[in-house]
């Protein structure tokens, strides 16, 4: 895990990685802006129905608060969604530098599959966190329990998403990934947890998805190499 992180950090300055970082950041911010503008016009309409004076001002304030809260709590969902669409860029850059044989054999999944994977990721993130919301509320009294549960659940989800981004280049159907292209559950959880924690740090969080995908690439290929040695 440490080796994978160090290798990934060392490649953040590569031109394809920098380009992808900017792409993920800009598109994520654009989606947040669209959400904020949409919330503003919806609130203006709702305030107009109630006959509230200065509805536009209150709508702007409320929309700004909603956009800020969305950026804090849903940036992980948005960033991973965007990364899924362009995941082949970062995985290809890592494989080309460290696993050239695998890069030559890879079959880029394409934007359509990336979009499908991104939507599936959003669905899992929203669904499982909604299901866990009663647990989060109950654990609020403990102080640390709710954040711990939140990070644990999202670590599992993010770890799977990142693993699938890599496997998508090498298997025909990501619904049936064999053991060779899977990271063991403990390592996958650690990968997801590191990424989830980085996503919670302002100004560092925009690096987290790309760094996580790069780490996943190393972990998947190292796990596959170990499996091949054991089978020989």
Is the full-model pTM beyond 0.75? yes
Return d(Cα 157, Cα 135) in angstroms, integer. Answer: 17
Question: According to the model, what pLDDT value does residue 205 have?
Answer: 81
- Number of C-beta neighbours around residue 168 at 10 A: 26
Residue 52: pLDDT band with limits 50, 70, 90: low
Whether 172 has a pLDDT exceeding 70, the answer reads: no
Element containing residue 143 per DSSP (H, E): none
Cβ(22)–Cβ(207) under 8 Å?
no
Question: According to the model, what pLDDT value does residue 113 have?
Answer: 81
Return d(Cα 232, Cα 229) in angstroms, integer. Answer: 5
Contacts 24+ apart (CB under 8 A), 105-114: 105/170, 106/169, 106/170, 107/169, 107/170, 108/169, 109/168, 109/169, 111/85, 111/86, 113/168, 113/174, 114/84, 114/85, 114/86, 114/87, 114/88, 114/168
Residue 151: pLDDT band with limits 50, 70, 90: very high
Higher-pLDDT residue of 118, 1: 118
Question: According to the model, what pLDDT value does residue 153 have?
Answer: 93
Across all residues in the chain, what is the average pLDDT? 83
Question: According to the model, what pLDDT value does residue 149 have?
Answer: 92
Question: According to the model, what pLDDT value does residue 192 have?
Answer: 93
Whether 177 has a pLDDT exceeding 80, the answer reads: no
Residue 147 vs residues 45, 57, 196, 197: alpha-carbon distances, Å = 36, 34, 11, 11
- Surface-to-core class of residue 230, CB atoms within 10 Å of its CB (0-12 exposed, 13-18 middle, 19+ buried): exposed
Element containing residue 53 per DSSP (H, E): none
- Least confident segment among 30-34, 39-43, 65-69, 166-170: 65-69
Cβ(18)–Cβ(12) under 8 Å?
yes
What dihedral angle (degrees, nearest 10) is formed by the CA atoms of 95, 96, 98, 103? 50
Higher-pLDDT residue of 115, 76: 115
Question: According to the model, what pLDDT value does residue 117 have?
Answer: 85
- Least confident segment among 60-69, 136-145, 170-179, 213-222: 170-179
Question: According to the model, what pLDDT value does residue 53 have?
Answer: 61
Whether 42 has a pLDDT exceeding 90, the answer reads: no
Residue 176: pLDDT band with limits 50, 70, 90: low
């Amino acid at each position: 895990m440490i080796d994978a992180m160090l290798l990934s950090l060392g490649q953040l300055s590569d031109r394809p990685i920098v380009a992808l970082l900017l792409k993920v950041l800009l598109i994520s911010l654009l989606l947040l802006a669209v959400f904020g503008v949409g919330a503003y016009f919806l609130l203006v309409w709702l305030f107009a129905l109630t006959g509230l004076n200065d509805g536009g001002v209150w709508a702007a304030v409320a929309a700004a608060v909603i956009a800020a809260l969305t950026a804090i709590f849903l940036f992980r969902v948005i960033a991973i969604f965007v990364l899924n669409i362009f995941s082949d860029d970062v995985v290809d850059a890592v494989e080309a530098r460290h696993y050239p044989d695998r890069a030559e054999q890879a079959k880029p999944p394409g934007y359509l599959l990336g979009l499908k994977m991104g939507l599936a990721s959003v669905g899992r993130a929203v669904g499982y966190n909604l299901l866990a919301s009663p647990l989060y509320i109950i654990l609020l009294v403990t102080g640390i329990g709710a954040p711990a549960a939140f990070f644990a659940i999202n670590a599992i989800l993010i770890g799977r998403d990142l693993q699938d981004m890599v496997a998508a280049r090498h298997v025909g159907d990501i619904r049936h990934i064999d053991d060779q292209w899977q990271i063991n559950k403990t390592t996958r959880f650690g990968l997801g947890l590191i990424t989830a924690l980085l996503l919670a740090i302002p100004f560092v969080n925009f690096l987290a998805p790309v760094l996580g995908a790069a780490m996943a690439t190393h972990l998947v290929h190292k796990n596959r190499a170990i499996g091949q040695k054991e089978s020989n």
